[in-house]
Amino acid sequence: MTQEELLEQIYKKDDKAFTLLYDMYAKSLFGVIFNLIKDREEAEDVLQEVFVKIWKNLDSYNENKGRFFTWILNIARNAAIDKLRSKDFNNSQKNLSADNFVHILDDPGRMINKIDTIGIHEFVKKLKPKCIQLIDLLFFKGYTQQEVADELEIPLGTVKTQNRNCINELRNLLKV
């Protein structure tokens, strides 16, 4: 299904629209939210918040704003970051801030989907450590290029191309 066909369905905001939206993106967004929040219950609250926001603002989205996925990804990241900054979020897990999306895979207590349908976990672990850091910061945590350059101590001008190489590596592993 192309983005156009998908959006045409989702814009109807009916039962089918919800099912499509949820089936296609809920897990992906939850992966991003959980990687930031690191608390399952809190993350589920944020996910709910995010879906409400997407649903309410569907009319304001159009393709001139970029990919639909990018639009909802930004909503999810921003909601999770807001939650982290909010007073009522007891950030007792500060020590875990070094965690990245790969650590989540190795933690049995976090109830990652046991059904790893495309066997992606094993692939993901094959990524170079540098790539895991880069993708974690840029994609999952939404850092700017400047922030990534500072954090990883690499020249600002190389962030884009290094990230490209890492995504290529991921695509090779996933055969996308």
Q: Which residue has the tokens 């944020």?
A: 46
Please identify which residue in 7, 79, 131, 163 interacts with another protein, judged by CB under 8 A.
163
Residue 162 to residue 108: CA distance in whole angstroms:
31
Q: Does 61 bind another protein (CB under 8 A)?
A: no
Q: Does 64 bind another protein (CB under 8 A)?
A: yes
Q: Does 161 bind another protein (CB under 8 A)?
A: yes
Smaller CB separation from another protein, 18 or 89: 18
Q: Does 12 bind another protein (CB under 8 A)?
A: no
Q: Does 93 bind another protein (CB under 8 A)?
A: no
Q: Does 8 bind another protein (CB under 8 A)?
A: no
Please name the amino acid found at residue 83.
Answer: K
Q: How far is the CB of 158 from another protein (least distance, A)?
A: 9
Q: How far is the CB of 77 from another protein (least distance, A)?
A: 8
Q: How far is the CB of 151 from another protein (least distance, A)?
A: 14
Q: Report whether 54 contacts 21 (CB < 8 A).
A: yes
Residue 30 to residue 42: CA distance in whole angstroms:
11
Residue 49 to residue 29: CA distance in whole angstroms:
12
Packing angle of the helix pair 40-57, 68-85 (nearest 10 deg): 130
